[in-house]
């Protein structure tokens, strides 16, 4: 029974996902259903957490809109996630960036990673 479930889970895994790390600014294109219509909506923000690996992989993205912090967690292999673009690479020294929740304005800036 376990092998059957594992084979089904492996079929759900997307291979077109970019490498994402905490501190990166990403644009997640999400399919949104409104009534009988479906459209793609972009959510751009900073990655504050990556969770697990394999088919259950998820990413938590934070952005501040009109002075209110909004965090969304996306299952990366979900059919609702259309695509993910990495806007810029951030240079951070820890895996979970929860400290950004307590910061406001320019204090939330993250240094950009230099590309060689």
Q: What predicted TM-score, i.e. pTM, was given to this entire model?
A: 0.87
Confidence at residue 15, expressed as pLDDT on a 0 to 100 scale? 80
What digits encode the pLDDT tens for the residues 2-53?
A: 788 778 777 778 888 899 999 999 999 999 999 999 999 999 999 999 998 7
Residues 6-15 as b/e (b if ≥16 CB within 10 A, e otherwise) read eeeeeeeeee
Domains and CATH numbers, the chain: 19-104 (2.30.30.790)
């Amino acid at each position: 029974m376990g092998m059957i479930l594992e084979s089904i889970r492996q079929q759900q895994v997307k291979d077109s996902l970019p490498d994402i790390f905490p501190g990166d600014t990403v644009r997640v294109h999400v399919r949104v259903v409104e009534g009988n219509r479906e459209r793609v909506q972009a959510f751009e923000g900073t990655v504050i957490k990556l969770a697990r690996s394999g088919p259950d992989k998820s990413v938590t993205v934070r952005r501040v809109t009109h002075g209110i912090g909004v965090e969304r967690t996306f299952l990366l292999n979900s059919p609702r996630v259309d695509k993910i673009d990495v806007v810029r690479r951030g240079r951070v020294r820890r895996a979970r960036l929860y400290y950004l929740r307590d910061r406001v304005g320019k204090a939330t800036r993250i240094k950009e990673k230099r590309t060689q």
